[in-house]
Structure 1
Amino acid sequence: MKTKSFSDMQCSIARTLEHVGSWWSLLIIRDVMMGARRFKHFEKSLGIAKNTLTVRLAQLVEAGILEKVPASDGSAFDEYVLTERGRELAPVMIALSQWGDKWVPHEKGPSTEIIDGQTGERLPRVWPRRENGEMMPLNEVRMRQADDVPPKNWARDQA
């Protein structure tokens, strides 16, 4: 079944979902961020059918999120690496992980921790911040349309 295309919508979120809206796509991106590079790694980690994985990888390459490169060890296999566009999804992936740990936790606890690779400390929660780094209350965050429509208040009663 073909899903509706969001590619022509004047909405950044909708157009982004056109590229990464599939749960398989997000899980592949997660695996690449955790070091997976080869088809067999994704297949084993995700338990995904080969044909589905083939399609998803091709879509992520076509979207410029992954790049298919020769194997780093010189073997005949191809590997998948994040492009700059793909690396810039890191805050989205971190936010999804942090939200999931808080709101839909597994009975065994988190399966991963998002940490500083140098210090081993957990990263702070991804949250809207002012230019000076100060966390903002959600009721002070606005989203407005590009054509000067008055901003919508996302959370009128949130602190």
Structure 2
Amino acid sequence: MQRTNFSEMACSIARTLDVIGEPWSPLILRDVWVGMSRFDQLQADLGISRKVLTERLNHLVDHGVLRRDPYDNRPRYEYRLTDKGTELVDLLMIMVGWGDKWLAGEAGPPVLYRHHACGQISSVDLRCAGCGEPMHADDVEVLPGPGAANASTDATAQGA
């Protein structure tokens, strides 16, 4: 089945989904982030077919989210996050917060995060880059940006 190409849409959400908008890619990024860098490690942890894993890894490398580093004379690679990929992990950490709040159940979150700077167990909190205050969906107005398909079109129809 042909995937819909969202990369040409005038919407940053759609463009991001074009890179990581299927279930395996965020999980692959998670695994690489926590230190699983080899194909066999990723396959064993995810239980994903070799074909699908190969396709997803190629896609993430092609989009500059992961890079391949050879590790022996055969064509074998370790996968590492690029700067672009590391920033996508920030997005995944926001997803973790939502999942911990709404889906963790009585057992609580499956993973905790210790912040290097202060040593505290914490979670990610969205803040305004301008004033530093918390920033959530109810705290913003969506306006057309310079990259909108039609600057006079309502921004909500174009996406954020």
What TM-score range do you get, normalising by the shorter chain?
0.7 to 0.9
Supply the distance in 1 between the matched residues of 2:55 and 2:136 (Cα, whole angstroms). 41
Supply the distance in 2 between the matched residues of 1:137 and 1:68 (Cα, whole angstroms). 36
Which consecutive residues of structure 1, in runs of 5 or more, have no partner in the other structure? 153-159
The aligned runs of 1:28-67 (5 Å cut-off) are: 28-67=28-67
Supply the distance in 2 between the matched residues of 1:62 and 1:124 (Cα, whole angstroms). 31
Does the CA contact (< 8 Å) of 2:7 and 2:15 recur in 1? Answer: yes
The aligned runs of 1:1-159 (5 Å cut-off) are: 1-71=1-71, 76=74, 77-106=76-105, 108-117=107-116, 119-136=118-135, 138-146=137-145, 147=151, 149=153
Matched positions, count: 150
Does the CA contact (< 8 Å) of 1:68 and 1:79 recur in 2? Answer: yes
Segments ≥4 residues shifted beyond 6 Å: none
Supply the distance in 2 between the matched residues of 1:129 and 1:66 (Cα, whole angstroms). 28
> What percentage of residue pairs aligned between the two structures are identical?
36
Supply the distance in 1 between the matched residues of 2:136 and 2:57 (Cα, whole angstroms). 38
- After superposition, the Cα gap between the structure-2 partners of 1:137 and 1:12, relative to the gap in structure 1 and judged at 3 Å, is closer
* Higher alpha-carbon deviation: 123-132 or 33-42: 123-132
Where relative contact order (Cα < 8 A, 6+ residues apart) is larger, the structure is 2
Q: What TM-score, normalized by structure 2, do the two folds share?
A: 0.82
Deviation at 1:108, TM superposition (A): 3.8
Supply the distance in 1 between the matched residues of 2:136 and 2:59 (Cα, whole angstroms). 37
Supply the distance in 2 between the matched residues of 1:40 and 1:111 (Cα, whole angstroms). 24
**CA offsets, 1:103-144, max 9 Å, x none?**
111554322122213544123432242523221464331222
* Higher alpha-carbon deviation: 142-151 or 95-104: 142-151
Does the CA contact (< 8 Å) of 2:126 and 2:136 recur in 1? Answer: no
RMSD: 2.2
Supply the distance in 2 between the matched residues of 1:137 and 1:61 (Cα, whole angstroms). 32
- After superposition, the Cα gap between the structure-2 partners of 1:106 and 1:34, relative to the gap in structure 1 and judged at 3 Å, is farther
* SS across alignment from 1:88: helix
Supply the distance in 2 between the matched residues of 1:55 and 1:137 (Cα, whole angstroms). 35
Does the CA contact (< 8 Å) of 1:91 and 1:126 recur in 2? Answer: no
Supply the distance in 2 between the matched residues of 1:68 and 1:149 (Cα, whole angstroms). 41
Q: What TM-score, normalized by structure 1, do the two folds share?
A: 0.83
Residue identity in the other structure for 2:5? S
